[in-house]
Structure 1
Amino acid sequence: CRVRARRPKPRKLDRLELALQVELRLVRNWSPEQIRDDLARSFPDRPEMHVSHETIYQSLFVQGRGHLRGDLHKHLRTGRAIRRHRGEPRRASWSKIRDMILISERPAEADDRAVPGHWEGDLIVGINARSAIGTLVERTTRYLMLLHLPNGHSADAVRDAMIPTIQTLPEHLRRSLTWDQGTELARHKDITLATDLAIFFCDPHKPWQRGSNENTNGLLRQYFPKSTDLTVHSTERLLEVATELNARPRKTLDYRTPAEAFQQLLSDPKQPPVATTP
Structure 2
Amino acid sequence: MIKQRPLGLTIVAYAGYVLLFLFFILPILTILSLSLKTPAEIFSPATIRNLIPENPTLDNYKTVMVNVRMNVYILNSAKLVISTVLGVLIISSLSSYALSRFHFRKKNLMILIILMFQMISPIVIGIPLYWYYSRLHLLDTYFGLAIAYIAIQLPFATFLLKGVFDGIPVEMDEAAKIDGCSRLMTLIKVILPVSLPGIASAIIFLSINAWSQFVLPFFLLNKDQMYPVSVGILLSQGTFKDISTHYVAAASMIGLLPAVILVLFLQKFILKALLSGAVKG
TM-score (norm 2): 0.24
TM-score (norm 1): 0.24
Considering Cα pairs closer than 8 Å and 6+ residues apart, tell me whether 1 or 2 has the greater RCO: 2
Relative to total residues, which structure has the larger helix share, 1 or 2?
A: 2
Looking at CA atoms only, which structure, 1 or 2, has the larger radius of gyration? Answer: 2
